Chains A and B, each alone.
Chain A
Amino acid sequence: MIRVETLSKRYGEAPPVVDDLSMEVAAGEICAVVGTSGSGKTTLLRMINRLVEPSAGRVLIAGEDTRNLRGHELRRRIGYVIQGHGLFPHWSVADNIGTVPRLLRWKRAAIDARVDELLALFGMEPATYRDRRPAELSGGQQQRVGVARALAARPDVLLMDEPFGALDPVIRGRAQDELAAVQARLGTTVVLVTHDMEEAVRLGHRIAVMDAGRLLQCATPAEMMARPATPFVEALVGGAERPFRLLSLDRVEAAVEPGEADGPPIDAGANLREALSACLWSGRDALPVERNGQRIGRVTLAALRRRAAPEAGTPAP
């Protein structure tokens, strides 16, 4: 869906901010771009919608060179969300969400319907919130309106630059789950910039690690943890957290086996990290697993232990 080819950006004589970077994001996937501050993540993102013009290389979206469109026309087709939401303070929530449809000259009724649809999608009662000003919303609500605004014109591609950076941890977790659900439902292709590895593992189908303008590795979270390309990547994904991150990638249903176990059951949709946590907390070696209230088997501590080690975490390539 998005194809970045030998993309570079230099400012003057300084070393390039983005250096000969190539990558691909498949349609319907979330690609999380991580890296330390100043590694060029934002610049890469802004070159995709041409808020920054590349010094060299090109970007294709759905096979089409982005230079074939005028910058503002390209940007009307690509959703864009930034940290701190950037809502227009002088417009109502509805006007904010309707920004791009208005620029595209949709009919009034179509815009109104779309605004209500998006508010409902993000769990905000349209009648209550439509006419509010951004200042009258909580941080979490402002962030949702920011995402709704980016999705309003049904873009195939959504670019997000640390969209949850300004939220407190509890709200952030909820916003991440919500984004994952909305993305799965709409099938939007997402490039999400973050400096939070936890967020990248949680949301990214693939993770791209950048350092000093270069792409070090672009792989699924499991692959990356199992076979980090460089010590830098290893340090970023690794540390003491690695087994738990690995476990958090899979659902309980992937590790379920026949058999009985005692105590309260765990849902098949929960992740393995939650299963491990339940085992440890209740002192059990196995948990019964349920799907839609039906017993379907059990998950054992031994199985979890196997999956927390790198070889078992990923299928062989």
Chain B
Amino acid sequence: MRLLGAAWRIALLLGLVAFLARPSLFAPVFAPLTRFDAPPIYDGTSLLSLTLNHLALTGAATLCASLLALGLAILVTRPAGAEFLPFSRALANAGQTFPPVAVLALTVPLLGFGAAPTFLALFLYGLLPVFENALAGLSGVSPGVSEAARGSGMTGPQRLALVELPLAAPVILSGIRLSAIVSLGTATVGSTVAAKTLGEVVIAGLLSGNTAFVLQGGLIVAALAILINDAFLWVEGRVRARLG
């Protein structure tokens, strides 16, 4: 069963790579979905460069959101920072409350069209899952263990680095995974404000009534989501195993 799962993941990855490297090979597959001799493969921008751009934007937003959210979670779980908990919660929740589309609409006048407003929307949207998970992970370290760490003479930073973060790592990682997957899907919306993401393919398909475009845009995003999710799960599993 696990072997089968791994095999189909590898097939998916190879299929994706092949499709991005040589989209024309797949033209016969998509041709039946087009009408009036429309092109079966999107050629406005190369699919490979859109995919890389999409990944870069998602990755950057997830990375920045994770760093800020983790930093906030660390801050509010220190005795000195406990008073910032309500503020941090409110910030992370606000990021999630505004739908990305609204963020895009509100920020385009300030930031112009393109990647910047999309990055901001993804960044805000990605804060909450990481923050909540990091908070749960860091405050979930058993009192006996924290007490022993303090009693052994670890300084605050040593307790954080040697005990709390390692023990919270799996939970934090699953927060980052959640954030990354949501971001990956949401980044498609960025194309409405001219960010170069895979949403461009889908939108082009919708505007020209070309189902093949819509499908290939959607499929690439779906394949990326599955593969990235799996990669995170694998890392989480490894980390969990190391925690014993």
A residues near B (Cβ < 8 Å) are: 49, 51, 72-77, 80, 82-90, 99-100, 103, 133-136, 146, 149
Q: For the complex, what is the distance from the CA of A74 to the CA of B243, rounded to whole Å?
A: 29
Name 28 A/B residue pairs within 8 A (Cβ), A-sorted: A51-B150, A51-B151, A72-B153, A73-B153, A74-B153, A75-B150, A75-B151, A75-B152, A76-B152, A76-B153, A82-B148, A82-B151, A83-B144, A85-B144, A86-B142, A86-B144, A86-B145, A88-B145, A88-B148, A88-B149, A88-B163, A89-B167, A90-B243, A103-B153, A103-B158, A133-B244, A136-B244, A146-B148
Contact between A90 and B166, CB atoms less than 8 A apart: yes
Given contacts A82-B144, A133-B244, 11 further A-B contacts (CB under 8 A): A49-B151, A51-B151, A77-B153, A82-B147, A86-B144, A87-B148, A88-B145, A89-B243, A99-B152, A134-B244, A136-B244
| B-side contacts of A82, CB under 8 Å | 144, 147-148, 151
Name the CB-closest residue of A to B151: A80
Q: How many inter-chain residue pairs (CB < 8 Å) link A and B?
A: 63
CB distance from A93 to the nearest CB of B (A): 11
Question: Does B2 have its Cβ within 8 Å of any Cβ on chain A?
Answer: no
Contact between B153 and A90, CB atoms less than 8 A apart: no
| B-side contacts of A103, CB under 8 Å | 152-154, 158
CB distance from B78 to the nearest CB of A (A): 15
Q: Tell whether A100 pairs with B152 under 8 Å between CB atoms, given A85-B144, A89-B145, A135-B244.
A: yes
Among B144, B153, B167, B242, the most chain A Cβ lie within 10 Å of the Cβ of: B153
Q: For the complex, what is the distance from the CA of A83 to the CA of B150, rounded to whole Å?
A: 15
| A-side contacts of B97, CB under 8 Å | none
CB distance from A241 to the nearest CB of B (A): 32
Contact between A72 and B155, CB atoms less than 8 A apart: yes
Q: For the complex, what is the distance from the CA of A14 to the CA of B111, rounded to whole Å?
A: 56
| B-side contacts of A73, CB under 8 Å | 153
Q: Mark B157-201, 1 if CB is under 8 A from A, else 0.
A: 010000100110000000000000000000000000000000000
| A-side contacts of B163, CB under 8 Å | 88, 90
| A-side contacts of B167, CB under 8 Å | 89-90
Q: Tell whether A75 pairs with B153 under 8 Å between CB atoms, given A82-B147, A86-B148.
A: yes
| A-side contacts of B148, CB under 8 Å | 80, 82, 85-88, 146
| A-side contacts of B152, CB under 8 Å | 75-76, 80, 99-100, 103, 149
CB distance from B157 to the nearest CB of A (A): 10
**Residues 108 to 150 of chain B near chain A (Cβ within 8 Å):** 142, 144-145, 147-150
Contact between B147 and A86, CB atoms less than 8 A apart: yes
CB distance from B142 to the nearest CB of A (A): 8
| B-side contacts of A134, CB under 8 Å | 244
Q: For the complex, what is the distance from the CA of A194 to the CA of B163, rounded to whole Å?
A: 28
Q: For the complex, what is the distance from the CA of A80 to the CA of B244, rounded to whole Å?
A: 24
Name the CB-closest residue of B to A96: B148
CB distance from A190 to the nearest CB of B (A): 15
Name the CB-closest residue of B to A87: B148
CB distance from B209 to the nearest CB of A (A): 56
| A-side contacts of B150, CB under 8 Å | 51, 75
Q: For the complex, what is the distance from the CA of A99 to the CA of B163, rounded to whole Å?
A: 11
Name the CB-closest residue of A to B244: A133
Q: For the complex, what is the distance from the CA of A126 to the CA of B158, rounded to whole Å?
A: 27
CB distance from A162 to the nearest CB of B (A): 12
Among B167, B243, B244, the most chain A Cβ lie within 10 Å of the Cβ of: B244
Q: For the complex, what is the distance from the CA of A84 to the CA of B244, rounded to whole Å?
A: 18
| A-side contacts of B149, CB under 8 Å | 88
CB distance from A39 to the nearest CB of B (A): 20
Name the CB-closest residue of A to B156: A72
Q: For the complex, what is the distance from the CA of A85 to the CA of B153, rounded to whole Å?
A: 16
Name the CB-closest residue of B to A136: B244
CB distance from B88 to the nearest CB of A (A): 26
CB distance from B6 to the nearest CB of A (A): 27
| B-side contacts of A84, CB under 8 Å | 144
Name the CB-closest residue of B to A83: B144
| A-side contacts of B142, CB under 8 Å | 86
Name the CB-closest residue of A to B242: A90
Q: For the complex, what is the distance from the CA of A83 to the CA of B167, rounded to whole Å?
A: 20
CB distance from A249 to the nearest CB of B (A): 31
Name the CB-closest residue of B to A95: B162
Among B147, B151, B163, B166, the most chain A Cβ lie within 10 Å of the Cβ of: B151
| B-side contacts of A88, CB under 8 Å | 145, 148-149, 163
Among B148, B149, B155, B158, the most chain A Cβ lie within 10 Å of the Cβ of: B148
CB distance from B76 to the nearest CB of A (A): 22
CB distance from B175 to the nearest CB of A (A): 19
CB distance from B170 to the nearest CB of A (A): 10
Name the CB-closest residue of A to B150: A51
**Residues 219 to 244 of chain B near chain A (Cβ within 8 Å):** 242-244
CB distance from B137 to the nearest CB of A (A): 13
Contact between B151 and A89, CB atoms less than 8 A apart: no
Please list the 10 inter-chain residue pairs (A to B) with the smallest Cβ-Cβ separation, ordered nearest first: A86-B148, A76-B153, A133-B244, A80-B151, A75-B153, A86-B144, A90-B243, A72-B153, A72-B155, A99-B152
